Amino acid sequence: MNFVSIIMGSKSDYEIMKHCADTFEKFDVKYEIIISSAHRSPERTKKYIKEAEEKGAVAFIAAAGMAAHLAGALAAATTKPVIGVPMKGGAMDGMDAMLSTVQMPAGMPVGTVALGRSGAINAAYFAIQILAILDKELAVKLKEDRIVQAKKVETDSASIEVIL
């Protein structure tokens, strides 16, 4: 069973990461979502990654804030693609998490997305694009979604536009 695994460092990340899960629902893609921390529960995190890989996780999404080491810890424990979502909050309102997530040493990649809701949604899109390489039905859904997005720009514009 192929699925994508979402891991959050804290329940406080869920409000944002719910958007990630919702995106998988929208595309009918299987996912797991759990809370496990690189710092507060390192053994649980390690155990979960191993079990998820055995069950068929094809990619991991890691969301963490502040000294955000979760995505890096995942990258160290798996050779599957890891997508990092930096969370806002803390003294630097996410800049700390963004740098912690993105600044990985060579050979240990974490594909880092934007802070906040857009990043949470794009993490799911990115994982879906990975799955769609070998899944034609999913590839079609992604193309249809682009058409829907383009149409929305037009309808939104039509509702307010002034053109001379």
Footprint of ligand RP5 on this chain (CB under 6 A)? 9-10, 12-13, 37, 64-66, 87, 89
* Nearer of residues 16 and 59 to ligand RP5, judged by Cβ: 16
Using the minimum distance from each CB to ligand RP5, give the nearer residue, 66 or 98: 66
Which residues lie closer than 8 Å to 94 by C-beta, 6 or more apart? Answer: 65, 86, 87, 88, 115, 116
Q: Which residue has the tokens 């990649």?
A: 109
Closest distance between ligand RP5 and the C-beta of residue 150, in Å? 34
Shortest approach of ligand RP5 to residue 149 CB, angstroms?
29
- What the block records as the tokens of 90 is 């803390």
Q: Smallest gap, in angstroms, from Cβ of residue 87 to ligand RP5?
A: 4
Nearer to ligand RP5, 70 or 104 (CB): 70
Question: What are the Cα distances from residue 31, in Å, to 3, 5, 69?
Answer: 5, 6, 22
The 8-class DSSP code of residue 34 comes to: E
